[in-house]
Amino acid sequence: MATKRKNSTRTGWEGVVKRLSKQTSGSVETGESGEGHSGAVAGGKSRRKGGMVSNLELMLHLQMQSAGIMGYMMEYKFHPVRRWRFDFCWVERKLVVEVEGGTWSGGRHTTGSGFRKDCEKYNHAAWMGYLVFRFTSDMVKNGEAINWIEEMING
């Protein structure tokens, strides 16, 4: 008979993210911040309630570090007026990766107003010349997102 695992015995990326998000006291910079732009945030303060980067963003950040993918900024403020930020941005390439959490649990990205706001943000980004790739939580967890990113950066 199978037994359920307790959260304290998680394995794989979820366990690593949980431990690191508790241990990380400062921010990890992955790029220089310029005028009107925020620096990278990994375990530091961000726009999110509770002041922490999401576990999914931290998980993907760690996956990219492990794969040797560099040169991106986290929480990059791309619009001169709006407070929109990209989860990950290679500024010179105008290449963006967004992690869409809560897609299977009725999170913000799947509500009518949340989806509408995402459309507005991504339409402005496209108009400004950014190429945006979006990944769901399961795509980050199963490695599909990092495979796409490695192909985009190295391929």
State yes or no: pLDDT of 142 exceeds 60: yes
- Placement of tokens 């945006």 in the chain: 132
pLDDT of residue 122: 96
Helix axes 144-154, 55-66, angle to 10 degrees: 50
Distance CA 38, CA 153 (A): 22
**Of 36, 46, 51, 50, nearest in space to 74 by CA:** 46
**Of 24, 91, 107, 95, nearest in space to 59 by CA:** 24
Of 23 and 133, the one with more pLDDT: 133
| Domain ranges for the chain | 27-154
Residues of the chain above pLDDT 90, percent: 53
Could you confirm whether domain 27-154 is CATH 3.40.960.10?
yes
pLDDT of residue 73: 96
47 contacts 82 by C-beta, under 8 angstroms: no
pLDDT of residue 5: 40
Q: Where residue 14 falls among pLDDT bands split at 50, 70, 90?
A: low
pTM: 0.68
| H or E, element range at 130 | none
